[in-house]
Amino acid sequence: MTDTITHALILLRGLPGSGKSTLAKLLSENGKYPIHSIDEYFTDKKTGEYRFDFQKNHLAYKNCEEKTEESLAKRIQRIFIDNTFTIEWELEPYFKLAQKYTYAIFVITVENRHNGLNIHEIPRENLEKMAAKYQVKLLPET
């Protein structure tokens, strides 16, 4: 990667309620740049109502990856992905897409320092399980 970056894929990760969606909207300049997420799949476009269905979660992941690739193929300057990404393998498809389309990739972990509530009403016990398996990579591989 050179010092001059013209195209970037930015992955925002964190637990539900951490502020990922809010930060994505801010960084995307309120929609100037696309934001893709798994939540998109479960949100009714007309009413804005969110209905999660675990049985369709794999379809939501695939849908998010497909929409991301469509944006990458259009050579949009900045693309944001707003997902929990608690486990390393969840990030991998986006690393591969960024490489395929020669985009710089950035991973931003959003912490819940503001005591935000998760709008999906995920029980505290589930959030603690997600936090326990959350993986962060601070150094490059040697």
50: β partners: 43
d(CA 105, CA 92): 11
pLDDT of residue 74: 98
pTM: 0.88
The string of pLDDT tens digits covering residues 55-76 is: 999 999 999 999 999 999 999 9
Cβ(68)–Cβ(91) under 8 Å?
Answer: no
d(CA 31, CA 61): 21
Q: Where do the domains of the chain lie?
A: 8-133
| Domain covering 8-133 in this structure, CATH number | 3.40.50.300
Cβ(103)–Cβ(5) under 8 Å?
Answer: no
d(CA 41, CA 118): 17
